[in-house]
Chains A and B, each alone.
Chain A
Amino acid sequence: MESGVTLEQVCELCKLCAGIMLANGAETYRAEETVNKLGEHYGLDEVEVLAIPTGVFLTLRAGTEQRNALRRITRRTIDLEKVDQANTISRALVEGRMELSDATAQLKRMECAAAPGGWQVPVLVGLSGGFFALMFGGGWMDFLLGVVAAGVTQVLARVFAKEPFSTFVTSLAGSALIAVIAQGGCRLTGQGTPGTIIIGAIMPLLPGLAMTNAIRDTMRGDLVSGVARAAEALLVAVALAVGVGVVLVADRLVWGGGL
C-alpha cells in the first residue's frame, strides 16, 4: 500500500471511476480493467471487481484491511466525453501525474455535471437524420423531412429524459412521430419516399452499439453483461419497430396504403 493514501480513498476513487465509465457507455471490461490498474498502482494486495451494466461491485484488500463497495447504476446514457475524461484521469493517476484527492474531486464534479442542453442536439442530430436519408439514396425532399423528423424526435427525447422508462417511451413515441412526419410530409407535398425518410431519421435512435457490445460481452464470457445489454437493445429495437408499425398500419387503414 502506497504511503499517505488510505484504502478508503482508493475505494472511493475506484467506485467513482468505474461508475462514471459504466453509466456513460464504456465497455464493462474497461471499467474492470481501470479498477485493476488503479489497485495495482496503489499497491493493493487483492482487487476483485465485477462490473455489469446496472452496477459495479468491488472488493479491495491491503494487508488485513478490507473494503467492499457497491455502486448502483440506474441511469445509463452514452456520453463519450465523460468516458474520455475518466480514462484520462485514471491514466494520469497510474502514471503519477495526478494527486488522488484532485482526481476524486474532478470525478465527483463530473458525475454531477448535467449534459448541456441547448439547440445544438436537436439541430445537429436532425441534420444527421437528413444526411442518413441522403446516404440511403434519398432526394432533397427526403433530406428536409429527415431533418425535421430526427430533430423533433430529439426535442421529444429531451422532454421525456427525466421520466421513468424514458428509453422505452422515447423510442416508441419517437419512431411513431418519425413515421407520422415522413408519411404526412410525403402525402402533403406529393414528393419524397417515406421509407427512406423513416430509415434515415431512425438511424440515430438505433441500439446498434448496445447490440454489438452485447454479443461481444457474451463472447468474452461476461454473460450477465451480455444478456443485460441484449435485453436493453432488444427492447429499444422492438419499441422502434412497433412505433413505426403502428403508424404504417393506421396509414393503410385510412388511405389504403400506396406511397
Chain B
Amino acid sequence: MSIAVQIVCCFLATVTFSVLFRTPRKSVLLCGGIAALGYALYLVLGNNLWSYYAATLLIALLGEVCARWRKMPAVIFISTAVVPLVPGTGLYYTMLRLVENDYAGAGQTGAFTLLAMGAMALAIATNALLVRWFFPRKKAKNEC
C-alpha cells in the first residue's frame, strides 16, 4: 500500500475519530491535517524511536501554532492529532507473542512499545519547554 493512501486514511481516521473526543467542529479539519503531516513524517523516517519523537514534536509544534492562530487550547489539537501515532500495533503484537508463549518476543515488542510512548511524551515535553522559552509567562505578583 502506497504512503499516499496511508496518509489520506490517517486524515480520514482522525477526522472521524474526533467525534469521540468531542473536538470542536471548527478545529476538526486542522487536527486531521496535523495528524496526516505527523504520520507522513513518521512513515518517511521508518519505525524507530526517533521517528516517534520527531513526528510527535512536529504534531505538537503545529498544534501550538494552530492554538495561537485559532485562540484555542493547544491540547485540543495535540491530543486529537497524536492518536494515529499511538503504538497500538505494539500493544497488539506484545499480546499476540504472549499468547504464543514467545516471552522473549513479547518482552522485545513490549519494551519497544513503552519506549515509543516515552519518546512521544518526551516530544510533548520538549514542545512545552520550547513554548516556555519563546513565549515566557509573566510572573504572578505573589511569585518570587
Within 8 A of B (CB), among A94-146: 115, 120-121, 124-125, 127-128, 131-132, 134-137
Within 8 A of B (CB), among A216-255: 216, 219-220, 237, 240-241, 244-245, 248-249, 252
B79 touches A80 (CB 8 A): yes
Size of interface on B: residues with Cβ below 8 Å to A: 50
Bound Cα distance from A74 to B33, whole angstroms: 34
Which of the 9-residue segments A2-10, A159-167, A200-208 touches chain B? A200-208
Q: Which residue of B lies closest to A127 (CB)?
A: B16
Count of A-B contacts with CB under 8 A? 157
A12 within 8 Å of B (CB atoms) = no
Bound Cα distance from A40 to B137, whole angstroms: 14
B73 touches A84 (CB 8 A): yes
B46 within 8 Å of A (CB atoms) = no
Bound Cα distance from A208 to B20, whole angstroms: 14
Within 8 A of A (CB), among B84-124: 84-86, 88-89, 91-92, 94-96, 98-99, 117-118, 120-122, 124
A81 within 8 Å of B (CB atoms) = yes
Bound Cα distance from A47 to B10, whole angstroms: 44
A252 touches B99 (CB 8 A): yes
Q: Which residue of B lies closest to A21 (CB)?
A: B73
A15 within 8 Å of B (CB atoms) = no
What's the least CB distance linking A221 to chain B, in Å? 12
What's the least CB distance linking B118 to chain A, in Å? 6
Known: A132-B13, A134-B5, A199-B92. Contact between A204 and B20, CB under 8 A? yes
**Interface SS of chain A: helix, strand, loop or mixed?**
helix
B1 within 8 Å of A (CB atoms) = yes
B75 within 8 Å of A (CB atoms) = yes
Bound Cα distance from A212 to B124, whole angstroms: 8
B79 touches A78 (CB 8 A): yes
Option from A83, A125, A240, A248 in Cβ contact (under 8 Å) with B91: A240
A45 touches B22 (CB 8 A): no
A128 touches B13 (CB 8 A): yes
B58 within 8 Å of A (CB atoms) = no
Provide 10 A-B residue pairs closer than 8 Å at the C-beta atoms, listed in order of the A residue.
Answer: A26-B75, A30-B75, A79-B22, A81-B24, A131-B16, A134-B6, A203-B84, A203-B86, A212-B124, A240-B91
B16 touches A245 (CB 8 A): no
Q: Which residue of A lies closest to B128 (CB)?
A: A216
Known: A206-B91, A240-B91. Contact between A124 and B16, CB under 8 A? yes
B95 touches A199 (CB 8 A): no
Residues of B within 8 A of A82 (CB): 22
B128 touches A215 (CB 8 A): no
A212 touches B82 (CB 8 A): yes
Option from B9, B75, B95 in Cβ contact (under 8 Å) with A248: B95
What's the least CB distance linking B127 to chain A, in Å? 9
What's the least CB distance linking A182 to chain B, in Å? 11
Known: A136-B89, A198-B92. Contact between A30 and B6, CB under 8 A? no
Residues of A within 8 A of B14 (CB): 128
A83 touches B99 (CB 8 A): no
B21 within 8 Å of A (CB atoms) = yes
Residues of A within 8 A of B19 (CB): 120-121, 124-125
Bound Cα distance from A248 to B14, whole angstroms: 28
Known: A40-B140, A40-B141, A135-B84. Contact between A195 and B24, CB under 8 A? no
Q: Which residue of A lies closest to B120 (CB)?
A: A212
A30 touches B73 (CB 8 A): yes
Q: Which residue of A lies closest to B98 (CB)?
A: A245
Within 8 A of A (CB), among B42-97: 71-73, 75-76, 79-80, 82-86, 88-89, 91-92, 94-96
A128 touches B16 (CB 8 A): yes
